[in-house]
Amino acid sequence: MGIIACEASQLDLESYLRLDARTAPHRAWFFLSGTMESSMGWYPQLRRAWEIGQKDKRAFSLPSYSNHYLYPGGELDPEILRLKADSPDDFFMERIEGVPCPPRGLVFPEFRADVHVSLDAVYVPGEPVSIWYDPGYDHAAALEAVQHIGGQTRVFAEIYERGLTIDAVIDLAVAKPWWRDVRHGVIDVSGTYHAGQQPPVGEVWLNRTGLYMHGQKVPINEGSHRLASFLKVDPTTNKPRIIFSPTCTGVLSEFGIGVNPIDKQMHVYKWDTDREGNTIGKTPHDRWNDGIKTVVYGLVDRFGYVNTVASRQKVEIQFFGRRPRRGVKV
């Protein structure tokens, strides 16, 4: 008849999606209850998204002072008033009122667990696979495996590791069952340059796997606009143009859906902000965005920029072999 999940915030996103799917055949109900340990992650995000109702979905909070056994005076109980006076506003809203207070300045606040994360993002054998790659050693090396199915971009698998050599990342990739369908590769433009005496990362991939990795310089804000356009829901299909598998925990953590899989801490891609939460600077803080950057590079490579001005810019494309003239229009 239904499923009850107690302390639901302790579940990972994939578990929630699978439990939700179990209710579908019988049109059963699904009840989630629990407290928020923080305002980040899939559980607080659903709380915000469903607060005003979404078809048959509804979310609400029971503040601590609704328990009149513990706080006989309710909202005006002396202890509640003391906590409100002594605690930071965000802490009081989150831990007493039960209202999520996510950090300000998120680069992609439109990203939603219930819209952009789906069990439909799975590897479909026989369909071409693209790999989008941002090399890294001290920070995460992020590789996203992607297919374009029915007009929708699906990020279905991920390699997200720190401290691995280029060869180690390649070894992980070629061992995956989806590698046999890889037809296209995109890399951060830095991966097309020589690093001291070392060959370019893209050249290593070409020599070892035969896969040519495209790389071009993508302006931060223009690239972000392209990704944001794919996060919108298509009004004709009622689906977003891009979805992610819940197993892609690295890139999802950068959107604020869960903890970083490397250090198990919450890190999100955000703008620098002042004490009032106002955005500082003209570009976001270049950190905790390794997976997001790979997605930006891949979308721009395949679909171009959102506006025609950026798409007419003269940029240099790096090739391994014969090079085009500098400043070729692309």
Which pLDDT score, from 0 to 100, does residue 126 have?
Answer: 96
Lowest mean pLDDT across 56-70, 125-139, 201-215, 302-316: 302-316
Backbone angles phi, psi at 167, to 5 degrees: -65, -35
Which pLDDT score, from 0 to 100, does residue 330 have?
Answer: 42
Kindly give the interhelix angle for 13-23 and 42-49, rounded to the nearest 10 degrees.
50
User: Helix, strand, or coil here: 153?
Assistant: strand
Q: Please, what's the largest Cα pairwise distance for the chain?
A: 79
Domain spanning 129-311: which CATH class is it, in words?
Answer: alpha beta
Query: Alpha-carbon distance 41 to 9, whole Å?
Result: 8
> Count of H helices and E strands in the chain?
11, 12
Which pLDDT score, from 0 to 100, does residue 132 have?
Answer: 97
Which pLDDT score, from 0 to 100, does residue 276 have?
Answer: 67
Distances (CA, A) of 44 to 129, 147, 167, 231, 329: 33, 29, 39, 19, 46
Q: For 193-210, what is the mean pLDDT?
A: 87
Which pLDDT score, from 0 to 100, does residue 311 have?
Answer: 45
Query: Alpha-carbon distance 186 to 178, whole Å?
Result: 16
pLDDT digits (tens, 9 = 90+) for 46-92: 887 787 777 788 988 889 999 999 999 999 999 999 998 888 777 88
Query: Alpha-carbon distance 76 to 66, whole Å?
Result: 11
Which pLDDT score, from 0 to 100, does residue 168 have?
Answer: 95
Of 161, 217, 160, 210, residue with least CA distance to 187:
217
pLDDT digits (tens, 9 = 90+) for 23-54: 988 889 999 998 876 667 888 888 877 877 77
Question: Is the whole model's pTM more than 0.75, yes or no?
Answer: yes
Would you report the helix, strand and coil content of the chain in percent, each value rounded to 5? 35, 20, 45
Banded pLDDT at 250 (limits 50, 70, 90):
very high
Which pLDDT score, from 0 to 100, does residue 170 have?
Answer: 96
| Helix ranges, 75-138 (H) | 78-86, 89-92, 113-116
Indicate whether 227 pLDDT > 90: yes
Which pLDDT score, from 0 to 100, does residue 325 have?
Answer: 47
Which pLDDT score, from 0 to 100, does residue 299 have?
Answer: 97
More confident residue, 35 or 204: 204
Indicate whether 202 pLDDT > 60: yes
Distances (CA, A) of 312 to 41, 323, 327, 328: 38, 20, 11, 11
Which pLDDT score, from 0 to 100, does residue 265 have?
Answer: 85
pLDDT digits (tens, 9 = 90+) for 147-199: 999 999 999 999 999 999 999 999 999 999 999 999 999 999 988 887 767 88
Ordered by start, the domain boundaries in the chain are: 2-105, 129-311
Q: For 227-232, what is the mean pLDDT?
A: 94
Query: Alpha-carbon distance 227 to 58, whole Å?
Result: 28
pLDDT digits (tens, 9 = 90+) for 278-326: 778 888 888 899 999 999 999 999 999 997 444 445 555 554 444 444 4
Q: For 202-224, what is the mean pLDDT?
A: 94
